[in-house]
Structure formats: structure tokens, C-alpha cells
Amino acid sequence: MTADSAARDSAAKDSAASNDNAAKIARSATLITVAPTGAELEKAAVPALPVTLDELVTTAKECAAAGAAQIHIHIRGADAKPTLDLGRLKDTVHAVRAATDLIVQLSTGGAVTDPYTHRLAVLDARPDGCSLTCGTVNFGDDVFMNPWGFMKELYAKTQEYGVVPEFELFDFGHIAALHRLLAELGPPAGGHVHCDLVMGVPGGMPGDAATLVQAVSALPAGATWSATGIGRTTLPVLLAALAAGGHLRVGMEDTVTFARGRAVTSNAELVERAAAVAALAQRPAMSPADARALLGVPDHRG
Ligand code: KMH
Ligand code: ZN
């Protein structure tokens, strides 16, 4: 055996060992991502929504204590409206990293009105991870635009910057586009494919157990996945995801109703509920350190 082939052999064994380790972590624990704010709700209508940096950091700390390992962030401006202002994004990444050990994932979806250039520039805030939606979808009365050329450019930038993408899948066509992206551009930063099924959006796939099982069966081999159900599909999707061995995303971006007739009072209570059900399912909430190992996210905290 030459030195080169011995080195390749050893790298392949390391990679196989780390895949085995990731698979073991994924089987024995549940990655909980909290999506606390989103871009659609108005603070005036939902006072518990975290919109300032202070509110976001407080929420992040509470959710980390309740069992979240990752936070999916949309930020707001001084007027509480959605923004992709780069300075604010950088401050946010810095502040959440300083206050918690959560994986900091920035949204590149933004609001339906955000231009592609601003959505690409989100990566310049150098987060740990980012969302990457794999296709256009009707989004209530709006359209959430993710044409192929934009997806490709965004994905190439995640690879260049070493930002770990989470592939957001709102519909079955998005799964086909994900296969195409991986085939054309290769594996993501971190080397592991992790997806998030976003279910129950009016215009996307429905949020029910049968659809979830079908979607999971179409994912790339070896991929891990989370699921979130919008609005009243939150609980059916949460229960189906745990039953099918998946991970969870919860938060006020996706639902502001805790139970019939009872509004969500904080993101932390959604994380607490998810962690309690995950513990019942014998796959308790995953630590941020294990989530980093699973997703291939380096720890950038100083
Ligand atoms: N606000 C939606 C238009 C993402 O964060 O990447 C897009 C969204 C997806 O929330
Ligand atoms: Zn989002």
C-alpha cells in the first residue's frame, strides 16, 4: 500500500466512523430546533413574539435550557418589521453565540418580499448554518420564490463559506430539486445532508402522518430530517416525526396556538413540550454538542 492510498483508506475509515457516530446520535436523541420569530407575524398582533435583539437572546437562553440545540433566526428592524440588514444579522449571530451554545442558523428565506441579493448576503454574517429552500411554493396568498438558479448560487456559497445548510422542503418537487442539487454540486459543508420538512403551509404539502412517511421515503440515502407542522398541523406532524425516527422544529414562526383556544405564551413552552414528548419516545432532546457532531457544524465560539 502506498502512503497516498493508506491516507485515503484512513480518511475513509474516519468518515465512516463519524457517519456511524452521527447515526448513533440521531437514533438515540432528538434534535430540537426552535424557530422563534419568522417573518410573517406582527408584534402588535402577537406580543410574545421576540423581535428585539434582547428579546431574541432571552428567548434563545430559555429555549436552550428547555432542550433546543439549534435556533432558526429571522430578525426584525427597529420598527419590528422583518429585515435582512447585514449589520443587524452579524450582531445577532455574535450575541446568540455569546449567550448560548445553540447552533445559530440564519434564515435565507427571509420574507416573501426580500430580493435574492439580500438573501444571498445573509451568509456574509457567517452563521453556523442557514436554511435553503429547495423550490418555489405558494405561501398562503403569496409566493415564496426559490428558482433553480438562485438555489444553486446559494448552495455554492454555503459550500464556499463552510456554512451548513438545512434543506427546507415544502413539497415533493423540492425533494426532487434537492437530489438534483446534490448530484450537480456535491455534498454540503459538513458532509451531512439534513432536511426540514415544512408541512401544512397553504400551497405546500399537507401536514399529516401519511404525507410525512411518503416524503421521508423520498429523501436522499443517509439524510437526517426534522419536521414542522404549520398552525393546526403542529401536533400531528410532531407526533408523526417522532414515530418515524425524525427530529423536530417548533416555535412561534410556525404556530402561535398551544392548544385549542390557548395562545402560545413563549417559544420555550413549545420547546418544553417537544422535549417532553421526545423523552416519552425514549429519544430525549439532543445536546448542542451532539447536534454539531450530527450535522457537521464546527464550533465557532471563541
Ligand atoms: N418566511 C418565509 C417566506 C426560511 O426561513 O428559509 C420563508 C421561510 C423559510 O421562513
Ligand atoms: Zn424561517
Q: What is the pLDDT of residue 11?
A: 47
Ligand nearest to the CA of 82: 1
Provide CB contacts within 8 A for 253, sequence distance 6+.
35, 36, 37, 38, 39, 40, 41, 72, 74
Nearest atom (ligand 1) to Cα of 108: 6
Separation between Cα atoms, residue 216 and residue 199, nearest integer Å:
12
Instruction: Judge if the beta carbon of residue 277 lies within 6 A of ligand 1.
Output: no
Give the mean pLDDT of the chain. Answer: 95
Which stretch of 11-25, 56-70, 266-280 has the lowest confidence by average pLDDT? 11-25
Centre of ligand 1 to C-alpha 114, Å, is 10
Which stretch of 4-8, 123-127, 294-298 has the lowest confidence by average pLDDT? 4-8
Instruction: Judge if the beta carbon of residue 223 lies within 6 A of ligand 1.
Output: no
Instruction: Judge if the beta carbon of residue 165 lies within 6 A of ligand 1.
Output: no
Q: What is the pLDDT of residue 16?
A: 54
Going through 16-139 in order, the beta strands assigned E by DSSP cover: 32-34, 70-73, 75-76, 82-83, 103-106, 129-133, 137-139
Q: What is the pLDDT of residue 152?
A: 98
- Give, in order, the Cα–Cα distances in Å from 270 to each of 216, 265, 273: 24, 9, 5
Nearest atom (ligand 1) to Cα of 110: 1
Instruction: Judge if the beta carbon of residue 111 lies within 6 A of ligand 1.
Output: yes
Higher-pLDDT residue of 77 and 5 is 77
Q: What is the pLDDT of residue 3?
A: 58
Mean pLDDT value of segment 129-144: 98
Q: What is the pLDDT of residue 301?
A: 81
Mean pLDDT value of segment 234-261: 98
Ligand nearest to the CA of 151: 1
Per-residue pLDDT of 84-114, as tens digits, reads: 999 999 999 999 999 999 999 999 999 999 9
Instruction: Judge if the beta carbon of residue 133 lies within 6 A of ligand 1.
Output: yes
Task: Look at strands 194-199 and 247-250 and give their pairing.
Answer: unpaired
Global pTM? 0.94
Nearest atom (ligand 1) to Cα of 133: 6
